[in-house]
Amino acid sequence: MKKKLTLNYQHELEFTLLGISSHENDYHLSWVLNQKLGLQFIKAKNIVILQSESELSQEFPVFNYEDEDALLVYNLISNKCEQGYLVPELKNIDFFLQISGEISQGFLNQLIEKLRNSGVVNASFVLDPKKIKAAEKLILH
């Protein structure tokens, strides 16, 4: 007699996620954030999504910064490419700022304020990754 076991696995969405609206391209935005926020974003490996039905490949730029002193990892992820959106349900968002690690509400509020005052960010706000249907696309390995 064979037993069939089913494994239900859900990715852990253990990060803070900010949505950013900006008309700047990814390189310029990362450069300005480096200057204004004291970060050191560097170009990382793109997120590549293969659409099986159309055999279309989508590439979304990613910039990464690891703050070893504060034990934080920042990922600036583009939501748009020529072929579409990384998270289609959030077409009004140009970039995601993903922060892994423990941060306080005060730190988060200051970060949002600095983003808004950077001169290149039109809007920034906190998103709940658990309420985003395609949130698994934002999990970087």
Interhelix angle for 105-116 vs 26-37, to 10°?
A: 120
Pair of tokens at residue 84: 């579409």
| Interval 12-45: pLDDT, tens | 557 899 999 999 999 999 999 999 999 999 999 9
With beta carbons less than 8 A apart as the criterion, state whether 39 and 74 touch. yes
Q: Please name the helix (run of DSSP H) or strand (run of DSSP E) that holds residue 115, with its range, or none.
A: helix 105-116
Whether 104 shows a pLDDT value over 60: the answer reads yes
Whether 4 shows a pLDDT value over 80: the answer reads no
Pair of tokens at residue 104: 């306080």
Structural domains of the chain, with CATH: 16-138 (3.30.310)
- Please give the pLDDT value at position 1: 62
DSSP type of residue 120: S
